[in-house]
Amino acid sequence: MSTRAGSVSVEDLRQLLRGLEVFAGELPVFDPSQAPDTPTELFAEWLLAAVDAGVREPHAMTVSTAGADGNPTARTLILKGLGPDGWRFASDGGSVKARDLAERPYAALTFYWSPLARQIRVRGPVAPESPEDSAADFLARSAGARAEALLGRQSRPLADLAERDTVVKESLARLEAEPDLVAPGWTLHSVRPESVEFWQGDKERRHTRLVYVRSGEGWDKQLLWP
Ligand SMILES: Cc1cc2nc3c(=O)[nH]c(=O)nc-3n(C[C@H](O)[C@H](O)[C@H](O)COP(=O)(O)O)c2cc1C
């Protein structure tokens, strides 16, 4: 087995990883006794703080799913909104995530805002939103994003980049002629949270975790050991 990764030795990498600083700089203090009654309110507060702190793509989250075999797949997606049914994201009908969700309609979402040392984890069942909402989401996308999604080829093998550029160009031309086209499989999904956990990192490792667990129509709050 090779002990080198590229031109850096495995030992060098190990040293580098051990030497990297975590939670540098000024971090916010999270007082869980002041936390609102619902996780949605606290999520909105933390998202706004991430936007104010200049976090790049603060609305990007890791969406983890599992198919019928139970094996997880995770990928980054953009949060589309917080509807009455929960955290929303959209998927191409032919993608791996769409297939997983058809087999096992359950997801875990993870947000990490590095400059604030904050993580939020959301878990719950996933349900599709109405075809009207899905179509509205599709039509709100940029022309380039719609052209790509219209092809319905996400996650399929691609021969070369020139093929991508040619086919997307054709798809853009199609959209110009028919601007109301909606990709047939485009679906907006909502994760209805069963639990939402807020984690505030601390340089001295006095991390704070607060989990909201759904209880009837409301929420129970519980501190967790970090
Ligand atoms: C910051 C960021 C945002 C992304 N946003 C989306 C998105 O909103 N929708 C999407 O389908 N893929 C998005 N992607 C690409 C996905 O991570 C993933 O590669 C793609 O959805 C295929 O996933 P799948 O094969 O598991 O279905 C994004 C990637 C990054 C890094």
Query: Domain range for residue 59?
Result: 22-141+184-224
Q: Residue 6: inside a domain, yes or no?
A: no
The span from the first CA to the last CA of the chain, in angstroms, equals 37
Q: Residue 171: inside a domain, yes or no?
A: no
CA dihedral (77, 78, 80, 83) in degrees, to 10, reads 60
The number of helices, as runs of H, and strands, as runs of E, in the chain is: 6, 12
Q: pLDDT at position 2, please? A: 46
pLDDT of 1 strictly over 60: no
Minimum mean pLDDT range among 65-79, 118-132, 147-161? 147-161
Our answer on whether the CB atom of 53 is closer than 6 Å to any ligand 1 atom is no
CATH assignment at residue 195: 2.30.110.10
So what's the ipTM on this one? 0.98
Task: Tell me, in angstroms, the distance from the centre of ligand 1 to residue 34's CA.
Answer: 35
Q: Residue 12: inside a domain, yes or no?
A: no
Q: Residue 10: inside a domain, yes or no?
A: no
Share of the chain above pLDDT 70, in %: 97
Nearest to 33 by CA among 198, 216, 210, 178: 210
Q: Residue 39: inside a domain, yes or no?
A: yes
**The tokens of 187 are what?**
């679906």
Best of 57, 71, 77, 104 to mutate for ligand 1, by most ligand atoms within 8 A of CB? 77
Q: Residue 149: inside a domain, yes or no?
A: no
Q: pLDDT at position 3, please? A: 52
Nearest to 97 by CA among 184, 157, 155: 155
List pLDDT tens digits, range 197-226. Answer: 999 999 998 999 999 999 999 999 999 999
Minimum mean pLDDT range among 94-98, 112-116, 218-222? 94-98
Q: For atom 11 of ligand 1, which residue has the closest CA?
A: 91
Q: Residue 40: inside a domain, yes or no?
A: yes
The domain tally of the chain equals: 1
Q: Residue 5: inside a domain, yes or no?
A: no
Rg over alpha carbons for the chain, rounded to the nearest Å, is: 21
Our answer on whether the CB atom of 187 is closer than 6 Å to any ligand 1 atom is no
